[in-house]
Amino acid sequence: MKEPIQYHSQEELNKFLEKGVIIPEPQSVKIERSINLPQIGKGTLLHPFSRIEGGQSYIKDTFTGPNTVLGCGTSEESVFLGKETTLNDFTTGYGFRTRKGTLYEEDASSAQHTDTKMTLLLPWVTLGSNINLCDALIAGGTGPELGAFSEVGSGSIHFNFTPSGDKATASLFGNVVEGVFLNQERLFIGGNNCLLGPMEADFGASTAAGIRIHGKLSKGLHTGQVLSRRVFTRDFRILSGVRKTLATQFNYLGELCAFMNWYRQIRIGVMAQDPETRRLYEAGLRMLSLNYSERVKQLKHYFGLIEQSIILIEKEKGKTKEFENQQFILSCWTKLERALEKNKTLELPAPEKLLSELRESLKTSGSSYTERIRNLSPESVNLGIKWMENLREEGGRNLSQTLTPKV
């Protein structure tokens, strides 16, 4: 028989209060005994009737930064870096759900009834209500004020599963390389949008409400594509556009390589000035690693579909050019797998000018993480972008070269 869950007593909860955890009504809050003091940071606010458990729970394996405000909902293997401003009074709204691999950076937020998994939101990015957004990274924006942050309108869905049965569909809205410097034009995704992954959107891209979009979005307003009422007879087990699909995923993985270096060398290496912040940033890095592993898993599945596609092409059409192309790509999996593993530890040293300027900024107290980044000199930003570009290109090149035929 399953053992009953043991919770901290009221006397033991006082230790959390003494550490700086805010619990307005301790008698209504339940914290499982497996949860220790270091796991709940100073400044955390536990609303009445909150319940935190280490097993099956409302909040499981989740790290929250200072002033994080979670509505009624569930969270598992997620990280919220916290709130630096009070312009938005919540981090997540009522009925939220965050699943494995979700990362909300500073002041990122979502409204009512949102669901995310393998989703990375850079500072200030805001999701509206009734949104399902999985396998996506969103950057952009210059601050938390209205009209300054990147936004996804209510009712929008990122479709991350194709009729062919694959999820090689991760989408990039903005990018990491420039986005981490918090000076790029915001993105605006209109309400009730159908986002068909894999997508890539430039900074400054915006979409009208109630539309269907896919592919690449350049800067400017997009009004979507209209579908005809025709019925197409097609065997979705026969893949098409394989190289194009792989190119988008290689680029996404290159962005993750750059992002992981930002966490290792900038957030953890320089900006983490106390053990709590270090643990929080290390948890954020783990979310990036989970996203990287997920993309590798989905690529492996996609190559299984390529193998099936080759058999069907030969059976129905013979050894066509597409057959030969997919056959060659399939033969590259072993090399690609080695490159994917190597990229996990890819590292290029950050510019010393960038590092020294950030270290100098830490001598002045009172500034937030985003303020310190926004106050970087143009020289440090340019050097930093070049460093991040090199990481992205090196990571993507390691992968794309595996599909280059030997001359």
| Alpha-helix runs per DSSP H in 92-187 | 176-179
Predicted local confidence at residue 253, as pLDDT: 97
Taking residues 196-224, report their average pLDDT. 96
Predicted local confidence at residue 257, as pLDDT: 97
Predicted local confidence at residue 34, as pLDDT: 79
Any idea what DSSP says for residue 245?
A: H
What SS3 state is found at 400? Answer: helix
Please say if the pLDDT value at position 54 is more than 70.
Answer: no
Any idea what DSSP says for residue 270?
A: I
Predicted local confidence at residue 11, as pLDDT: 85
Please say if the pLDDT value at position 407 is more than 70.
Answer: no
Cβ atoms of residues 179 and 153 within 8 Å: no
Listed in sequence order, the residues at least 6 apart from 205 whose beta carbon sits closer than 8 Å to its beta carbon are 173, 187, 188, 217, 218, 219, 220, 222
CA atoms within 13 A of residue 233's CA, in its CB half-sphere = 0
pLDDT digits (tens, 9 = 90+) for 121-152: 999 999 999 999 999 999 999 999 999 999 99
pTM of the model: 0.88
Please say if the pLDDT value at position 47 is more than 80.
Answer: no
pLDDT digits (tens, 9 = 90+) for 6-42: 888 888 888 888 888 888 888 888 888 877 777 677 7
Predicted local confidence at residue 55, as pLDDT: 44
Give which of 88, 286, 266, 251 is closest to 173, Cα–Cα.
Answer: 251
Measured CA to CA, the distance from residue 350 to residue 372 in angstroms comes to 17
Predicted local confidence at residue 1, as pLDDT: 53
Give which of 233, 238, 234, 236 is closest to 323, Cα–Cα.
Answer: 238
User: 122 is written with which tokens?
Assistant: 């850079």
Give one word for 220, left, alpha or beta, with left for phi > 0 and alpha for psi -120 to 50: left
Taking residues 206-218, report their average pLDDT. 95
Handedness of CA 246, 249, 253, 255 (dihedral sign): positive
Selected residue with higher pLDDT from 15 and 219 = 219
Please say if the pLDDT value at position 56 is more than 70.
Answer: no
CA atoms within 13 A of residue 149's CA, in its CB half-sphere = 23
Please state which of the ranges 8-12, 198-202, 290-294, 350-354 shows the lowest mean pLDDT: 8-12
Taking residues 287-293, report their average pLDDT. 98
Local confidence band at 2 (pLDDT 50, 70, 90 cut-offs): low
What whole-number percentage of the chain has pLDDT above 70? 96
Taking residues 84-106, report their average pLDDT. 92
Local confidence band at 69 (pLDDT 50, 70, 90 cut-offs): confident
Measured CA to CA, the distance from residue 265 to residue 269 in angstroms comes to 5
CATH of domain 59-222: 2.160.10
Predicted local confidence at residue 53, as pLDDT: 67
Predicted local confidence at residue 180, as pLDDT: 98
What SS3 state is found at 21? Answer: coil
Measured CA to CA, the distance from residue 144 to residue 263 in angstroms comes to 22
| Alpha-helix runs per DSSP H in 208-320 | 242-261, 275-317
Residue with tokens 């800067």: 219
Q: Are strands 205-207 and 220-222 parallel, antiparallel or unpaired?
A: parallel
pLDDT digits (tens, 9 = 90+) for 229-262: 788 788 899 999 999 999 999 999 999 999 999 9
Please say if the pLDDT value at position 194 is more than 90.
Answer: yes
